[in-house]
Amino acid sequence: MAIDNDGDAERFSFEAFTRHPFFTEVNRWIVERVIDPGRRKVVDLGCGPGAVTKLILEHLGDPHGARVIGIDPSESALARARAAIHSRVVEFIQGSAEWVSRLVSSADAVVFLNAIHLVGDKAQVIGEIRKALKRGGVFAFNTTFFKGAYVEGTSGFWRRWVLRAVQVLRERGIEVKHSTHATAREFLTADEYADLCVNAGFARPSVELVRIEMPPESLEDIGRFSLFIEGALPGVPLEEGAKALKEGLKRAIEETGLDTVPRNWLEGVAVAV
Ligand SMILES: C[S@@+](CC[C@H](N)C(=O)[O-])C[C@H]1O[C@@H](n2cnc3c(N)ncnc32)[C@H](O)[C@@H]1O
């Protein structure tokens, strides 16, 4: 990815978004249910700059004998995670969900938070995660890019935000290529996620929704994240995309009069059988 090469990595990092309290809330929901002293070998898949890794460490209690393995394809995200977390039980490895079982085996838990929507072949990836776990191990995931993420009455806002960003780009002479499909755009239902887990060798997972309120500053922050820009405005250079999303957000908020925007997170925990 181009952003791994220079200072862009910092400007377009996920880190600013992770500082919003609701983001800790949706991740804590999973971590509290999955991390306990009995689960010693934990994989933080798609760890990014390490916000979830930190939560896992907090919940491990006595870290003696524990191992936490953060895995992410992005070297720049891993560099930020390594700089932020200094613990002898944590290691960060470059890798991808598509071949996680070649990197880890017999894990007690694999958490894959805010990232599962980014993978193209979800069935293959969930199969890989099953292979990386021991029997009785848990796979936990969450995402806010699924069918059901939009709280009633808000879909107009989300559509308007992107439309206004596209309008801003047009005003600046930049066209958005509608033909480019980003994998981040494929929204599954909760049932589809549950079916994929069952097919991969898990007991049918409990899948629940957590509703949070997103303040405008958090939307501005996600609008500066490289993968969000690529998903919302395929093919647009990051710098231009970020500026357009910021201006588009301002217009969408003015037009809809929304103060904060509610949104659902899907939270799933599946046990390997
Ligand atoms: C939105 S961030 C989430 C980071 C972290 N899990 C959190 O919740 O704070 C998504 C992360 O998924 C990673 N990612 C993208 N595709 C992936 C894949 N195929 N396998 C593993 N991680 C992936 C990205 O590099 C990025 O760091």
How far from 131 is each of 11, 41, 135, 184, 198, CA to CA, in Å? 36, 14, 9, 24, 14
Backbone phi, then psi, for 134, in 5-degree steps? -80, 165
Mean pLDDT score, 216-243 = 96
Helix axes of 122-132 and 190-199: crossing angle, nearest 10 degrees: 50
Backbone phi, then psi, for 210, in 5-degree steps? -120, 125
Q: What is the mean pLDDT of the chain?
A: 93
Q: Is residue 224 very low, low, confident or very high in pLDDT (cuts 50, 70, 90)?
A: very high
Rounded to the nearest 10°, the torsion over CA 61, 102, 45, 203 is: -80
**Residue 144: predicted pLDDT:** 97
**Residue 10: predicted pLDDT:** 78
Contact present, 158 and 150 (Cβ < 8 Å): yes
**CB of 50 shorter than 6 A to ligand 1:** no
Q: Quote the percentage of the chain above a pLDDT of 90.
A: 87
Q: Is residue 179 very low, low, confident or very high in pLDDT (cuts 50, 70, 90)?
A: low
Closest-lying ligand 1 atom to the alpha carbon of residue 27: 8
pLDDT tens, residue by residue, 9-44: 778 999 999 999 999 999 999 999 999 888 899 999
**Residue 183: predicted pLDDT:** 44
One-letter amino acid of 188: L
**Residue 2: predicted pLDDT:** 43
Mean pLDDT score, 114-141 = 97
Ligand 1 mean position, distance from CA 246 (Å): 23
**Residue 37: predicted pLDDT:** 84
**CB of 51 shorter than 6 A to ligand 1:** yes
Beta bridge partners of 206: 269
Ligand 1 mean position, distance from CA 69 (Å): 14
One-letter amino acid of 13: S
Ligand 1 mean position, distance from CA 191 (Å): 22
Q: Is residue 134 very low, low, confident or very high in pLDDT (cuts 50, 70, 90)?
A: very high
Pairing state between β 107-113 and 67-72:
unpaired
**CB of 267 shorter than 6 A to ligand 1:** no
**Which residue has the CA at smallest separation from atom 4 of ligand 1?**
48
**Residue 180: predicted pLDDT:** 47
Among 72, 116, 126, which is best to mutate for testing ligand 1, by the most ligand atoms less than 8 A from CB? 72
**CB of 109 shorter than 6 A to ligand 1:** no
Mean pLDDT score, 100-106 = 98
Residue with tokens 């309008």: 167
Ligand 1 mean position, distance from CA 257 (Å): 32
**CB of 74 shorter than 6 A to ligand 1:** yes
**CB of 31 shorter than 6 A to ligand 1:** no
Among 42, 57, 143, 227, which is best to mutate for testing ligand 1, by the most ligand atoms less than 8 A from CB? 227
Contact present, 66 and 89 (Cβ < 8 Å): yes
**How many residues are recorded in the chain?**
273
Helix (H, G, I), strand (E, B) or coil at 77: helix
Other CB atoms within 10 A of residue 38 CB = 7
* Angle, CA 94 vertex, CA 185 and CA 41 arms, to 5°: 100
**CB of 124 shorter than 6 A to ligand 1:** no
**CB of 129 shorter than 6 A to ligand 1:** no
How far from 99 is each of 76, 119, 121, 132, 197, CA to CA, in Å? 20, 12, 12, 9, 17
pLDDT tens, residue by residue, 70-84: 999 999 999 999 999
One-letter amino acid of 224: R
Ligand 1 mean position, distance from CA 124 (Å): 16
**Residue 7: predicted pLDDT:** 64
* Angle, CA 93 vertex, CA 88 and CA 95 arms, to 5°: 160
**CB of 143 shorter than 6 A to ligand 1:** no
- 60 pLDDT more than 60: yes
SS3 for 179-195, per residue?
CCCCHHHCCCCHHHHHH
Give the CATH number of domain 2-271; options: 1.20.1630.10, 3.90.1520.10, 3.40.50.150, 3.50.50.60: 3.40.50.150
**Residue 177: predicted pLDDT:** 75
